């Protein structure tokens, strides 16, 4: 299959390009246009259309987004342009060239009063980021029949240079800097390689519609931080817990969140979603192969 990953330089995009390239003809674009990826701004409808008409991909995976939750709250117009109009542009261009589209969304479309959430639960976003991702889901579904909406959360990986939760923890712990985590946010941490592999299988087997793709273990963020610190060989009791309210964040967080993965697990045959033990074992084995 000829596959285009838009957002190839991002965390999830990096692993998607690596994984899908084993079996498909994969190319990518980035916002900065840094080698090896040409520049493509998803806010530019004409540029998106021209690019897809020239490339003629059979399938597009859209990971590009304005992902900084608190910055989205401060810049709602930019969030709207990138997170809603961008996916709409991509969906319209896919329709024109008859390509399928996998769009990445988030548990932040929910309010966190009743998690973990199934695909059929009613969204009720609390933040600009969550609202724009929910509007994007609707724009994609309204404009393109052959689509996948992938809801994921708390994605992490061993990826030097990335500022994902795991890499920040490794960096701070090794420098002896204090680490903390909210005690009242329930999450399903998701390993990026496992996410990329599961998405690949959904695309290859022609799935459509909404799928939750997340790690299968649900725990509080502070407990996740403690697990990582302990695996690094440090004392997890040094990790301070705090409440989300104490963090005074610009954007509200869904607290009792989490994603149910039964639908995806029933469909996935080769690439089941991992529990936390499996995911951390894999992540630390990657890390020991490439010491930080
Ligand atoms: N990471 C998570 O924990 C998580 C959780 C739930 C859902 N998701 C969703 O999963 C997807 C991938 O996440 P990720 O962690 O890979 O995010 P990421 O690392 O922030 O990557 C997103 C990429 O999109 C690029 N981008 C921003 N604006 C763009 C534009 N106008 N046109 C083209 N590209 C643009 C960014 O470039 P710059 O860096 O240069 O701005 C960045 O490289 C996103 O849709 C996100 O909403 C992620």
| CA 234 to centroid of ligand 1, rounded, Å | 31
pLDDT at 163: 85
- Name the residue of 32, 37, 47, 63 to mutate for ligand 1: max ligand atoms within 8 A of Cβ: 63
**Ligand 1 site, residue 154, Cβ cutoff 6 A:** yes
pLDDT surpassing 60 at residue 290 = no
Is the Cβ atom of 153 under 6 angstroms away from ligand 1?
yes
Q: What is the pLDDT of residues 114-160, one digit of tens each?
A: 999 999 999 999 999 999 999 999 999 999 999 999 999 999 999 98
* pLDDT band, residue 289 (cuts 50/70/90): confident
Q: Give the pLDDT of residue 240.
A: 95
* Nearest Cα residue to atom 19 of ligand 1: 10
The mean of the pLDDT values for the chain is 96
Residues of the chain with pLDDT > 70, as a percent, come to 99
Each residue of 9-49: pLDDT tens digit?
Answer: 999 999 999 999 999 999 999 999 888 999 999 999 999 99
Nearest-5° Cα angle at 133, 11 to 201: 55
Quick one: pLDDT band at residue 292, thresholds 50, 70, 90? very low
CB 167 near ligand 1, within 6 Å: no
With a 6 A CB cut-off, is 15 part of the ligand 1 pocket? no
In angstroms, the CA 75 to CA 39 distance is: 23
Domains plus CATH for the chain? 2-156+190-218+258-276 (3.40.50.720)
Phi-psi region of 115 (alpha: psi -120 to 50; beta: other; left: phi over 0): beta
Tell me, in angstroms, the distance from the centre of ligand 1 to residue 70's CA: 14
Q: For residue 164, what are the CA distances in angstroms to 7, 102, 111, 155, 182?
A: 16, 22, 23, 7, 16
CA distance 157 to 174: 17
- pLDDT tens digits for 209-252? 999 999 999 999 999 999 999 999 999 999 999 999 999 999 99
Beta-carbon contacts of 163 under 8 Å, excluding residues fewer than 6 positions away, are: none
Residue nearest (by alpha carbon) to ligand 1 atom 10: 104
């Amino acid at each position: 299959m000829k596959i285009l990953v838009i957002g190839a330089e991002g965390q999830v995009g990096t692993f998607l390009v690596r994984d899908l390239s084993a079996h498909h003809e994969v190319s990518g674009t980035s916002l900065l246009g840094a080698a090896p990826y040409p520049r493509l701004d998803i806010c530019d409808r004409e540029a998106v259309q021209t690019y897809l008409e020239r490339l003629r991909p059979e399938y597009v995976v859209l990971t590009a987004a304005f992902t900084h939750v608190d910055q989205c709250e401060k810049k709602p117009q930019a969030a709207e342009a990138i997170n809603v109009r961008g996916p709409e542009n991509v969906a319209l261009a896919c329709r024109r060239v008859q390509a399928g589209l996998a769009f990445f969304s988030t548990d932040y479309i929910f309010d966190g009063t009743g998690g973990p959430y199934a695909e059929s639960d009613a969204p009720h976003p609390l933040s600009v980021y969550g609202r724009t991702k929910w509007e994007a889901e609707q724009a994609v579904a309204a404009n393109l029949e052959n689509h996948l909406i992938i809801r994921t959360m708390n994605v992490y990986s061993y990826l030097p240079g990335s500022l994902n939760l795991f890499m920040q923890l490794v960096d701070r712990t090794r420098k002896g800097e204090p680490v903390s985590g909210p005690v009242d946010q329930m999450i399903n941490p998701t390993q990026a390689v496992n996410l990329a592999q599961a998405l690949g299988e959904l695309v290859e087997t022609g799935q459509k519609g909404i799928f939750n793709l997340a790690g299968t273990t649900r725990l509080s963020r502070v407990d996740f931080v403690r697990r990582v610190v302990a695996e690094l060989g440090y004392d997890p009791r040094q990790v301070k817990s705090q409440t989300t309210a104490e963090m005074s964040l610009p954007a509200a967080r869904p607290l009792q969140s989490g994603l149910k993965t039964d639908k995806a697990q029933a469909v996935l045959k080769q690439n089941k979603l991992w529990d936390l033990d499996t995911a951390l074992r894999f992540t630390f084995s990657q890390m020991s192969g490439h010491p930080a």
